[in-house]
Chain A
């Protein structure tokens, strides 16, 4: 049986804790003022915004584990959010059906992606790049550059399922992350995903329905990205076409930091979610250091490289 510290997720948790400790120390306030970083309001904020990346990262991680890659999450988030917002604000649909339709958009996008990859045999990088352009383009066409103001249509003090709105995203994330982690580790389907990612040829030779697995992961990625987009629109109050631009790289980086290998066959859902938290903390805490504004991209890049390098070294040692 694996010991606790042998799980890759353990290292990610440690990195996250170290990061939090570091910023707690560095940003310690004088006197008896409240800590700018280590307080419940700030913690909740970090969770809220990281969750939006996190939900999409669950899907992206599964795709990466299967040996593929998805560049479209950001664009799908935007399109799903825009569709949901438009139905709700312009056409006056009730909230739930409008947002559900947004999620269906993600399903459609995922199916289309899967068709490109499985039927037309396009490399995933190219296929999802194309889907990224198409979905983002449709979002722009629908909105014609305008945005839909969702917040003004929501009743003030709106409480989804009877909870404060700010808790919605983290809650959905936790449920999805745990659910998919279980799915990936204790169900045959999850193991099949790891097999396809580890060695697609050998998986095929072992009787795994490779095409079916590939289709399922891209459809999942589409649906999860759409959920994330809908949540983003609800949390932030605006549905517009340039939502989530550039998110895909952060999402992929989170998965990698969380233990996924871009070659496939390795990684975990929980790890990817922890990865988004690591970046979320960074994005929140860095601007509090005077003069550090322009460094966050640089530091994010360095963090990714360092973690990946250490990962490789540890893997080599084991072999």
Chain B
């Protein structure tokens, strides 16, 4: 007597279960809604529980459902061929959060063997003979079928393994398609039909679900050099256009009049092209700094000040900061500004003594040796964007706190990888660790730094090469690893599992895939109500 199921023991899991690894073609549970990968948590009215002792495990586990001697159990229960059996199963909820529970009603059947009219064993009532080599010497049907079932089982339980190369497995699976088609054509019947269904379901699953990635989603992949080049070209063009558009206003040279003693009227409100200044040209007191330009072209000294913390200069510096985030982090902080001469002069203290000069408010700047240009007369909200920024703008890495969900933390984590924000990436890891002794006792280190720079570099390489996107597809339920009640001062440690899909580009389509290099199941923990943090040691 058999259920026709194969199952893997999950008794050590916090929610003890048997995971369905295969449903034979003639199982009494075919067509009942049971799926490969389902966790059986109750058989009839008997919940699956962890054995209390090794002896009990030795005594019962081999005849549990889906195990090699399950028939003994059905016999002990006095069940007969065709008797109904209800299984309670859990599977990841279709909503993507937590588990959903289902009850499936199948039947116990006698173990069947099939023979043809020549009393030769066959695969199913109308199937090929098991020992036949058909159509060629490399294809003995039994070997082929058993290997294929293993393959299909693995594929249909795709989540089971993190060391699963889905594209390689797909190639291997597709190698069997021709023979499967031959089977369907040559030996039509329930066996061929069931195998055809399982095969195509596995192919569909292993191909991975499709994703529609937008240009915006993929913008991060643009090579930094390419982005820098493009932005620099836009900068040069915009700089030239700005100068041309304001040619009538721009003074041919910096004024040489004295900012206090002479009449500033003729130059007030005019635009002046200042020589390039860098951070070394900051002058002022510790509480207030200016870009200071000492123009000596007229033989004397003539100062021009740009308030570093003024509105326009702040927008200019923030644009340079955003360029560092969006294009290249190592932009040189030098500025070639065109600025408007303000009505009032200013006095600024520096180490060389106080200087009196003209106040200038920048209206445009070429930054970083021409790497970027920003027109400060243009505003987008509180900012002024640098030329080409719209093409590059992408959401910044969202900060996470105690109110963020595990899914949000993981999404922030992946955003950080894509954005090249190592600090945010590093901040998503737990700085504690928890593990279990063999006897089940938990040990927790309150301090355990994670995430090496090598892992960071590796993660960055992946998102710039074969991984085009990452999607969180399922979030498990929170469970307490330690309740805080174990002893005085014990910590409260909670954990949740998140499943993700990596998205690759295959034959022009973005599809989910798995690789031994990537981790699909992620664990996040929360210690004493702190923010959720990644407790795994891998970086991608």
Asked if A and B bind, the verdict is: no
Interface residues of B (CB under 8 A from A): none
Interface residues of A (CB under 8 A from B): none
